[in-house]
Structures are given as C-alpha cells and as structure tokens.
Amino acid sequence: MEPDSILGYQRELTFSNEKDSVALGWFIMHYANGGEYVWHNGGTGGYSSSMAVDSNHRNAVVLLTNVGGKNDALDSACAKLMEYLLAEKG
C-alpha cells in the first residue's frame, strides 16, 4: 500500500478502449463514483482467484477458492466487496 515507483509503474494505464483500461498485468476498474482500483484474476487446475487493490484508500480484496471455473462469480464478489469497502470509509 505504500508508494513504490515500480508498483506505480505497473499500475499506469498502457491501453484503453470504450470497454477496458489496462495497466501492466492489471485491469483498471472504476467505482460507481468514478474512482479506480486495479484488479486481476486467475485460475488453474481446479482453483480460481480474484484480487483487487485500491492503494489510494488502502483497501484490498483477495478471494481464493479450490473450485475451478468460478472466475465470473469471484470477480463479481470482488468488485462488490471493493464498492462496500469504499462506502464504509465514506
């Protein structure tokens, strides 16, 4: 969560279109209020994961499961938890 030039570089916008914003290895997601956080997911051999980090508000969510092919459900839960954490900090 602390400022770090390498992590900051990895989170800088490298590509965007009408649908997506991408940094180096991270997707840039936007809160309903316009703020942003970085997110990525993954899965292999019966496992799924989703991780989001908002260093500006010092929030992070990491979801891990031993069930494969559940990325859509995890990604949705991750995004909802990030919105909830932001609202809690008000």
Q: Convert the pLDDT of each residue in 13-53 to its tens digit.
A: 899 998 889 998 899 999 988 889 999 999 888 999 999 99
pLDDT of residue 60: 94
pLDDT at 90: 62
Q: How many CB atoms lie within 10 A of CB 52?
A: 23
CA 87, CA 83: separation in Å to the nearest integer?
6
Query: Which of 11, 12, 29 is CA-nearest to residue 20?
Result: 29
Domains of the chain, residue spans: 5-89
Q: pTM of the prediction?
A: 0.83
